[in-house]
Amino acid sequence: MKKVRITVKKIAHYDDLIEQYENPLEHACSMELGQTFICNGWEKPEGFCSSAWDTVSAFVMALAHGGENFYDGWMKNPKSAMISCNDGFRPVSFLLETMDEDCDIV
C-alpha cells in the first residue's frame, strides 16, 4: 500500500447560507489553507476532521491500493483526486495524491 498526502487547497465560507440556515456554532472547522496530512493506509490522520474523512476516505483507500484515473481522466495527475468535504456552509477542498513511499502498516 502507498501513503497518500492530503493538502487543504481551498476553504469556502458562505455567510449568506450560514446566516439564513445554520444554528450558531462555537467551533465549526479547524482546517487551514495549505495544511498537509499523510495517510498511512486506511488510518485517519491525527487532527483531520472526522466529517471530512467520511467524504475523502474511499478515495484515500483507492489511491493507497493503486487506484488511479478516477472518472476516466478527470485529473491531470491520474494518481490524485480533488475532493471537497460535505459541509454546505464552509466546504474545504482537498487534493489527494499518492506518494511513492509505502505505508508503515501491513
Edge-first strand order for the sheet with 92-102 is 36-39, 2-11, 92-102, 80-84
Which grid cell sits at 20?
439564513
| pLDDT tens-digit series, residues 11-53 | 999 999 999 999 988 788 889 999 999 998 778 999 999 999 9
Which residues neighbour 17 within 8 Å (Cβ) at sequence distance 6 or greater?
88, 89
Q: Provide the β-strand partners of residue 80.
A: 97
Q: Show me where the domains of the chain are located.
A: 1-31+65-106
pLDDT computed for residue 76 by the predictor:
95
Report the distance separating Cα 94 and Cα 45, nearest Å: 14
